[in-house]
């Protein structure tokens, strides 16, 4: 593949953008990162993703690919001979990885975000309880998928590691906001240890945003009502 013909439209703070960047790092693909300005959408973004008008958009040889999990799979397939495999090789394992990735976005993330948008203490407590319950499902998923190995994908980080791990920066920000541990060493010990391994992976480390910066950004994105 010709390097220099890969562009990624995104933002340093976006979980979904990070997924694409981790995948590109795993395959050692160089790309031009086109940082969107907060509060507006560039012409290129609107042109490349007219349906959803959202980042990330991967533009490979002028052809756009949208939706983070679809982009990650595309990267794995377009550069299949590069680096390690991102998706598992067996159809059943792939189906399980896709199922949990969809669960993370459709159920788990929604619960996490509702902590930030909760109005009042009652709502916040309910949201926290929901996240804890859903995180326990993910703990079981990790044990099942990893089969004793360090990552969901086995020896190396893969699709499901990326799907969940990209949330770790925001996970910490929400913990601070909620003043409550959301990744608990005693409740979900496997996930807790996995998180540290994930963040230290060379494909991930340079991309994980600083918690303080992200917390400040969160205050812009989810302003608290004035008392």
Between 76 and 175, name the residue whose CB sits nearer to another protein: 76
Cis? peptide before 203, omega within 30° of 0: no
Q: How far is the CB of 57 from another protein (least distance, A)?
A: 11
Q: Which of 97, 105, 86, 89 has its CA nearest to residue 167?
A: 105
* CA quadruple 218, 37, 205, 145: dihedral, nearest 10: 70
| Residue 98 binds another protein, judged by CB under 8 A | yes
Between 2 and 51, name the residue whose CB sits nearer to another protein: 51
b/e map 7-36, b = 16+ CB within 10 Å: bbbbbbbbbbbbbbbbbbbbbebebeebeb
How many residues sit in the footprint of another protein (CB under 8 A)? 22
User: Which position among 44, 78, 176, 215 is part of the footprint of another protein (CB under 8 A)?
Assistant: 78
Between 107 and 181, name the residue whose CB sits nearer to another protein: 107
Give the SS3 label for residue 74: helix
Q: Write the interaction track for another protein spanning residues 123-152; mark x where CB under 8 A is met and - where it is not.
A: --------------x---------------
For residues 51-70, which are near another protein according to CB under 8 A? 51, 60, 63, 65-67, 70
């Amino acid at each position: 593949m010709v390097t220099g013909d890969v562009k990624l439209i995104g933002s340093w703070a976006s979980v979904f953008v990070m997924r694409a960047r981790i995948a590109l790092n795993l395959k050692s693909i160089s790309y031009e990162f086109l940082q969107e300005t907060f509060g507006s959408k560039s012409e290129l973004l609107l042109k490349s993703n007219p349906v959803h008008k959202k980042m990330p958009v991967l533009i490979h040889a002028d052809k756009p690919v949208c939706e983070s999990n679809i982009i990650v799979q595309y990267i794995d397939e377009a550069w299949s001979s590069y680096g390690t495999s991102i998706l598992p090789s067996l159809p059943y394992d792939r189906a399980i990885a896709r199922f949990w990735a969809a669960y993370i976005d459709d159920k788990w993330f929604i619960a996490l975000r509702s902590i930030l948008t909760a109005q009042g203490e009652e709502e916040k407590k309910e949201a926290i309880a929901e996240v804890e319950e859903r995180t326990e499902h993910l703990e079981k998923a990790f044990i099942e998928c990893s089969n004793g190995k360090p990552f969901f994908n086995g020896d190396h980080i893969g699709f499901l590691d990326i799907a969940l791990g990209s949330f770790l920066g925001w996970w910490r920000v929400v913990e601070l906001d909620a003043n409550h541990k959301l990744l608990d060493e005693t409740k979900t010990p496997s996930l807790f240890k996995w998180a540290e391994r994930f963040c230290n992976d060379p494909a991930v480390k340079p991309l994980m945003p600083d918690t303080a910066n992200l917390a400040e950004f969160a205050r812009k994105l989810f302003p608290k009502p004035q008392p």
